[in-house]
Amino acid sequence: MESKTLETIQTAVKVAKIVCTVAFVCSLVGGILCLVGIACAGLPGSLKLGGVTIHSIVDNASEVSPGTLYGSMAAGAIMCAASCVVCKLAARYCARELEAGTPFTLEGAQELLRLGICTICVPLGEMVVAGICQAVANNYFAGVSKLDIDGGGFVSFGVALLFASLLCRYGAELAAKE
Protein backbone atom coordinates (compact mmCIF):
# COMPACT_ATOMS: atom_id res chain seq x y z
CA MET A 1 0.00 0.00 0.00
CA GLU A 2 1.43 3.35 -1.02
CA SER A 3 1.61 6.15 1.49
CA LYS A 4 -0.37 9.33 1.08
CA THR A 5 2.89 11.30 0.83
CA LEU A 6 4.20 9.13 -2.01
CA GLU A 7 0.91 9.56 -3.86
CA THR A 8 1.25 13.33 -3.47
CA ILE A 9 4.84 13.21 -4.76
CA GLN A 10 3.80 11.13 -7.77
CA THR A 11 0.95 13.53 -8.57
CA ALA A 12 3.35 16.49 -8.35
CA VAL A 13 5.81 14.72 -10.66
CA LYS A 14 3.02 14.00 -13.18
CA VAL A 15 2.10 17.69 -13.17
CA ALA A 16 5.78 18.68 -13.47
CA LYS A 17 6.20 16.35 -16.46
CA ILE A 18 3.21 17.98 -18.21
CA VAL A 19 4.50 21.49 -17.43
CA CYS A 20 7.98 20.58 -18.72
CA THR A 21 6.52 19.16 -21.92
CA VAL A 22 4.40 22.27 -22.52
CA ALA A 23 7.38 24.53 -21.75
CA PHE A 24 9.53 22.50 -24.16
CA VAL A 25 6.99 22.94 -26.97
CA CYS A 26 6.60 26.67 -26.23
CA SER A 27 10.38 27.15 -26.19
CA LEU A 28 10.74 25.23 -29.44
CA VAL A 29 8.05 27.33 -31.14
CA GLY A 30 9.57 30.53 -29.72
CA GLY A 31 13.03 29.63 -31.00
CA ILE A 32 11.69 28.81 -34.45
CA LEU A 33 9.75 32.09 -34.56
CA CYS A 34 12.89 34.03 -33.56
CA LEU A 35 14.82 32.39 -36.39
CA VAL A 36 11.99 33.10 -38.85
CA GLY A 37 11.97 36.70 -37.60
CA ILE A 38 15.69 37.02 -38.26
CA ALA A 39 15.23 35.59 -41.74
CA CYS A 40 12.30 37.88 -42.51
CA ALA A 41 14.08 40.96 -41.18
CA GLY A 42 17.09 40.03 -43.29
CA LEU A 43 15.01 40.11 -46.46
CA PRO A 44 14.11 43.80 -46.65
CA GLY A 45 12.09 43.96 -49.86
CA SER A 46 11.04 40.40 -50.54
CA LEU A 47 8.34 39.99 -47.89
CA LYS A 48 5.47 42.40 -48.54
CA LEU A 49 1.98 42.28 -47.12
CA GLY A 50 -0.29 44.88 -48.71
CA GLY A 51 2.69 47.01 -49.67
CA VAL A 52 4.11 46.92 -46.13
CA THR A 53 7.48 45.33 -45.41
CA ILE A 54 8.95 44.14 -42.13
CA HIS A 55 11.53 46.93 -42.24
CA SER A 56 8.87 49.61 -42.73
CA ILE A 57 7.00 48.33 -39.68
CA VAL A 58 10.15 48.40 -37.57
CA ASP A 59 11.29 51.77 -38.93
CA ASN A 60 7.94 53.56 -38.66
CA ALA A 61 6.05 51.95 -35.77
CA SER A 62 8.72 51.41 -33.16
CA GLU A 63 11.80 52.94 -31.69
CA VAL A 64 13.73 49.70 -32.10
CA SER A 65 16.76 49.84 -34.33
CA PRO A 66 17.41 46.99 -36.79
CA GLY A 67 20.50 46.04 -34.77
CA THR A 68 18.46 45.76 -31.58
CA LEU A 69 15.91 43.69 -33.47
CA TYR A 70 18.52 41.26 -34.80
CA GLY A 71 20.34 41.05 -31.46
CA SER A 72 17.13 40.48 -29.52
CA MET A 73 15.86 37.79 -31.85
CA ALA A 74 19.23 36.02 -31.88
CA ALA A 75 19.36 36.12 -28.09
CA GLY A 76 15.75 34.94 -27.95
CA ALA A 77 16.53 31.97 -30.19
CA ILE A 78 19.49 31.06 -27.99
CA MET A 79 17.45 31.38 -24.80
CA CYS A 80 14.66 29.26 -26.27
CA ALA A 81 17.17 26.58 -27.30
CA ALA A 82 18.63 26.52 -23.78
CA SER A 83 15.12 26.25 -22.32
CA CYS A 84 14.41 23.34 -24.67
CA VAL A 85 17.44 21.47 -23.33
CA VAL A 86 16.56 22.02 -19.66
CA CYS A 87 12.86 21.23 -20.17
CA LYS A 88 13.64 18.02 -22.08
CA LEU A 89 16.01 16.85 -19.32
CA ALA A 90 13.44 17.67 -16.65
CA ALA A 91 10.67 15.83 -18.50
CA ARG A 92 12.97 12.82 -18.91
CA TYR A 93 13.71 12.82 -15.17
CA CYS A 94 9.98 12.98 -14.39
CA ALA A 95 9.20 10.11 -16.76
CA ARG A 96 11.87 7.91 -15.20
CA GLU A 97 10.79 8.82 -11.67
CA LEU A 98 7.19 7.89 -12.50
CA GLU A 99 8.41 4.63 -14.02
CA ALA A 100 10.37 3.81 -10.85
CA GLY A 101 7.42 4.79 -8.66
CA THR A 102 9.61 6.64 -6.16
CA PRO A 103 12.14 9.47 -6.18
CA PHE A 104 14.37 7.45 -3.85
CA THR A 105 16.51 5.50 -6.30
CA LEU A 106 20.24 5.90 -6.87
CA GLU A 107 19.68 6.29 -10.62
CA GLY A 108 17.01 8.94 -10.02
CA ALA A 109 19.25 10.81 -7.60
CA GLN A 110 22.07 10.76 -10.15
CA GLU A 111 19.76 12.06 -12.88
CA LEU A 112 18.44 14.76 -10.55
CA LEU A 113 22.05 15.78 -9.83
CA ARG A 114 22.72 15.99 -13.58
CA LEU A 115 19.54 18.03 -14.06
CA GLY A 116 20.63 20.42 -11.28
CA ILE A 117 24.03 20.91 -12.88
CA CYS A 118 22.47 21.48 -16.31
CA THR A 119 19.93 23.89 -14.82
CA ILE A 120 22.83 25.97 -13.53
CA CYS A 121 25.26 25.64 -16.45
CA VAL A 122 22.99 25.85 -19.51
CA PRO A 123 21.48 29.27 -18.63
CA LEU A 124 24.92 30.62 -17.74
CA GLY A 125 26.21 29.46 -21.12
CA GLU A 126 23.11 30.95 -22.74
CA MET A 127 23.89 34.33 -21.16
CA VAL A 128 27.47 34.21 -22.46
CA VAL A 129 26.38 33.33 -26.01
CA ALA A 130 23.60 35.95 -25.93
CA GLY A 131 26.23 38.50 -24.82
CA ILE A 132 28.37 37.51 -27.79
CA CYS A 133 25.36 38.02 -30.10
CA GLN A 134 24.91 41.44 -28.53
CA ALA A 135 28.57 42.30 -29.21
CA VAL A 136 28.31 41.12 -32.82
CA ALA A 137 25.16 43.22 -33.32
CA ASN A 138 27.03 46.23 -31.83
CA ASN A 139 29.81 45.77 -34.39
CA TYR A 140 27.48 45.66 -37.41
CA PHE A 141 24.72 48.10 -36.42
CA ALA A 142 24.48 51.49 -34.77
CA GLY A 143 22.21 52.20 -31.81
CA VAL A 144 21.85 48.66 -30.48
CA SER A 145 20.12 48.64 -27.10
CA LYS A 146 21.72 46.61 -24.33
CA LEU A 147 19.97 43.34 -23.55
CA ASP A 148 19.09 42.69 -19.94
CA ILE A 149 19.41 38.94 -19.37
CA ASP A 150 19.19 37.50 -15.86
CA GLY A 151 19.81 33.84 -15.07
CA GLY A 152 19.75 34.11 -11.29
CA GLY A 153 16.49 32.21 -10.95
CA PHE A 154 17.89 29.25 -12.84
CA VAL A 155 20.98 29.17 -10.65
CA SER A 156 18.84 29.16 -7.49
CA PHE A 157 16.58 26.43 -8.87
CA GLY A 158 19.63 24.39 -9.95
CA VAL A 159 21.09 24.58 -6.44
CA ALA A 160 17.73 23.45 -5.04
CA LEU A 161 17.81 20.46 -7.42
CA LEU A 162 21.34 19.61 -6.24
CA PHE A 163 20.13 19.53 -2.63
CA ALA A 164 17.07 17.48 -3.64
CA SER A 165 19.37 14.97 -5.35
CA LEU A 166 21.29 14.57 -2.08
CA LEU A 167 18.04 13.92 -0.20
CA CYS A 168 16.92 11.39 -2.81
CA ARG A 169 20.30 9.64 -2.68
CA TYR A 170 20.09 9.47 1.11
CA GLY A 171 16.54 8.07 0.88
CA ALA A 172 17.71 5.45 -1.64
CA GLU A 173 20.58 4.45 0.66
CA LEU A 174 18.19 4.12 3.61
CA ALA A 175 15.80 2.01 1.53
CA ALA A 176 18.68 -0.24 0.47
CA LYS A 177 19.60 -0.89 4.13
CA GLU A 178 16.11 -2.17 4.94
pLDDT value at 58 more than 80: no
Q: By percentage, how much of the chain surpasses pLDDT 70?
A: 84
How many residues would you count in the chain?
178
Tally of CA atoms within 13 A in the half-sphere of 19 that contains its CB: 8
CA trace torsion 37, 41, 45, 46 (10° rounding): -30
State how many domains the chain has. Answer: 1
In a domain, 112, yes or no: no
What pLDDT is attached to residue 53? 62
In a domain, 65, yes or no: yes
Mean residue pLDDT of the chain comes to 84
In a domain, 170, yes or no: no
d(CA 154, CA 76): 16
In a domain, 83, yes or no: yes
- 63-122 pLDDT tens trace: 667 777 778 888 889 989 999 999 999 999 999 999 999 999 999 999 999 999 999 999
What pLDDT is attached to residue 1? 46
Segments forming the whole domain that contains residue 42 = 4-103+121-145
9-13, 19-23, 70-74: least confidently modelled range: 70-74
In a domain, 133, yes or no: yes
What pLDDT is attached to residue 20? 96
In a domain, 57, yes or no: yes
In a domain, 89, yes or no: yes
The whole-model pTM stands at 0.81
